[in-house]
Structure 1
Amino acid sequence: MDFSIVIPAKDEELGLAKTLPLLREHYPEAEVVVVNDGSTDNTLQVCEEYGVKVVTHPYPKGNGAAIKSGARAANGKYIVFMDGDGQHNPADIERLLYKLEEGYDMVVGARGGREDQANIARWSANSLYNWLASWMVNRRIDDLTSGFRAVNRKKFLGFLYLLPNGFSYPTTSTMAFFRAGYSVGFVPISVAPRLGKSHISLVRDGVRFFLIIFKIGTLYSPLKVYFPMSLLVSGMGVLNYLMGSLTSGGWRFTNMSTLLILAGMVMFLMGLLAEQLTNLQYKDAVEEED
């Protein structure tokens, strides 16, 4: 297949020294693009040693920004994204490409259980992501956040404007492909311990965790999130009205019950508006890709 391999890298000299020779061994004809995201170690020197194509950011812009730069620089019909920390086995690329040939537009390398996750907190968060996303799309999602994936380049480029510059590009791209009606498949993989220091921050990425929860919903179908919330809030208003009426002996709306019911109605209308805007957003993306 005509494919390029894109690797975002920030201070990943150890991982690249392990991964690049294996890529050259398994796929000597493939285009390999390493995006040097403002590294301060010997990442650039390692890339030059193995003769891969390098796109350099003058300062760190983030994993998502590196992915976007790599996608623009790649020339293959398909792109394989993989991390530069040595966790992903280059031999698994062939399995992703075979899955693409079955008619999929995106194939994700799905990590297994707890043993394939960095720590219990990461595993718990990813399990919640997978469950929520599966509920949203009515299809089982084995790994929403894996950075090891193969995509149709032309279709992926149509969603670059949606991708954040941070670490949540896998979540965004997966949900965008589902929302556009493209085919997304999963291939089980195992991962090795990362080489070098992780760039994940517990506090910063803990906040990101909650933001991604809402982002998953709004990327796919906002009304599916807003409607249950509106029912819950309005139901609390009706319950407050009934309880107040029974205890006071008179059937009248209190300020609290009125406020809750109105808040539920506003949530529903916001969800309806967000749903229409989302439809227009993806309509434009698919038309541009076509």
Structure 2
Amino acid sequence: MRISVVLPAKNEAGGLPRTLERLREVLPEAEVIVVDDGSTDQTAALAAGLGARVLSSPYSMGNGAAIKRGARAATGDVIVFMDADGQHDPADARRLLDKLAEGYDMVVGARNWEGQAGVSRGLANTFYNWLASRMTGARVRDLTSGFRAVRADKFREFLHLLPNGFSYPTTSTMAFFRSAYSVAYEPIPVAKRIGKSHIRIFRDGVRFLLIIFKIATLYSPLKLFAPVAGAFFMLGLGYYLYTFITQHRFTNMSALLFSASVIVFLIGLISEQITALNYRRDA
């Protein structure tokens, strides 16, 4: 089984050498690809000097764009994605690969609460995990972890869905679950990163939330539309009971809420049929 390791890197000259040296110790047989996302420091030169294959961009395109470039260029049957900032111990990559060898299609390195970058990030990730679990019907233990091992052919099926920003873990995890590919989680420790994080809590947090809904509507629309339709119906029913008791009549607002529930449900039903047709076409 050929292994490729892809590290997206933007101005990671501080932590990259230590990560690459450790990688060579634990995975000497692996192809190592560093995707330089428009760095303005010595990231590319350091990576090349340490024997990595370097893919450089003339300007920053985003973490997701770097992941896509690396996935296309990788020659291995299995791809390990990890950060270049020193947070991930390359020795843990072997654990992910051992778990993958049990028959899984993707293994994600799951962080515990201590591995979260602050309380706000930890609370946000807990909410994302819960929401993604509801949408996919499977337990999502770490939706945003960038440390994972995947089977290359299956991961490339979803490259067109991956955004260019900081949310490729979210998209790929939900896509694997909704496509009935097996996903496992392996607990990993996370060290404090070297350098400054490029993630912005509010901007990227809203983006993660939108991606969860996007993938849910792409793979299982009724999981999103049915609860909304049910909420409109219950609001209409509650308002009708209130007006019937107090005014002894059926109001226009009740009719509007009931109509909205039917329309939203029918939109979800049509979306579900379109999804089924897309699956049949791909098959």
Corresponding position of 1:142:
141
User: Is contact 2:128–2:209 with CA below 8 Å preserved after alignment?
Assistant: no
Corresponding position of 2:56:
56
Corresponding position of 2:27:
27
Cα distance in 1, alignment partners of residues 58 and 185 from structure 2? 35
Amino acid at match of 1:249: H
How much has 1:144 moved relative to structure 2? Answer: 1.2
User: Is contact 1:133–1:141 with CA below 8 Å preserved after alignment?
Assistant: yes
Corresponding position of 1:204:
203
Cα distance in 2, alignment partners of residues 277 and 266 from structure 1? 17
How much has 1:99 moved relative to structure 2? Answer: 0.7
How much has 1:215 moved relative to structure 2? Answer: 3.1
Cα distance in 2, alignment partners of residues 284 and 32 from structure 1? 36
RMSD value, Cα: 1.6
Amino acid at match of 1:173: S
**212 and 120 in structure 1: CA distance in 2 versus 1, 3 angstrom threshold:** farther
Identity %: 60
TM-score (norm 2): 0.95
Corresponding position of 2:274:
277
Corresponding position of 2:259:
262
Corresponding position of 1:106:
106
Cα distance in 1, alignment partners of residues 279 and 144 from structure 2? 21
**155 and 213 in structure 1: CA distance in 2 versus 1, 3 angstrom threshold:** closer
Cα distance in 2, alignment partners of residues 97 and 140 from structure 1? 21
Amino acid at match of 1:152: R
Task: Name structure 2 gaps, 5 residues minimum.
Answer: none
Once the two structures are superposed, residues 111-155 of structure 1 have per-residue CA deviations (whole angstroms, 9 ceiling, x without a partner) of 112x10001111111111111222233332211111000000011
User: Is contact 1:179–1:219 with CA below 8 Å preserved after alignment?
Assistant: no
TM-score (norm 1): 0.93
Amino acid at match of 2:266: L
Cα distance in 2, alignment partners of residues 208 and 126 from structure 1? 13
Corresponding position of 2:230:
231
Corresponding position of 1:10:
10
Cα distance in 1, alignment partners of residues 96 and 50 from structure 2? 24
Task: Name structure 1 gaps, 5 residues minimum.
Answer: none
Cα distance in 1, alignment partners of residues 2 and 50 from structure 2? 21
User: Is contact 1:5–1:80 with CA below 8 Å preserved after alignment?
Assistant: yes
User: Is contact 2:13–2:46 with CA below 8 Å preserved after alignment?
Assistant: yes
User: Is contact 2:8–2:37 with CA below 8 Å preserved after alignment?
Assistant: yes
